[in-house]
Amino acid sequence: MYRPLPSSLTIKPSKVNGLGLFATEKIERGINLGICHLQVGKELFRTPLGGFINHSDNSNCTKSMARIVDELAITKDYKIWRLFTLNDIKPGEELTLAYTFYKI
């Protein structure tokens, strides 16, 4: 069954802005939560992780980029960013990220 988010996360109203990502259980520091952004050519796409995480100058998550080269794929060269926790996240805590793609 497809799940747009890890089972440890949910989307709900945020005090930061609109809707945000929140932990439903404790998430330890250094956990890879999945792909948050994908760039194909000049187009940047957000997954539910990337679309609902809010900005904070004191964020508890970070992105890590990987360039993918697949000679057999139609799109041979693209980039993905994965979302990682920077510290332990408590149940009910909002996950945040220092924005680098968008002006705030």
Output the tens digit of pLDDT for each of the chain's 104 residues.
778 899 999 999 999 999 999 999 999 999 999 999 998 888 889 999 999 999 999 999 999 988 776 666 666 678 889 999 999 999 999 999 987 766 65
Contacts of residue 90, defined as CB under 8 A and 6 or more positions apart, other chains included, come to 23, 26
- Residue 17: which residues within 8 A CB-CB, separation 6 or more? 54, 55
Residue 1 lies in a domain: no
Q: Give the CATH number of the domain where residue 54 resides.
A: 2.170.270.10
- The answer to the question of residue 69 being in a domain is yes
Domain coverage including residue 89: 9-97
Domain membership flag for residue 81: yes
Residue 55's pLDDT is 92
Q: Which of 74, 13, 81 is nearest to 46 (CA)?
A: 81
- Does residue 82 belong to any structural domain of this protein? yes
Residues 78 and 20: their CA atoms lie apart, in Å, by: 27
How many domains does the structure of the chain reveal? 1
102 is a domain residue: no
Tell if the pTM clears 0.95, that is, is over it: no
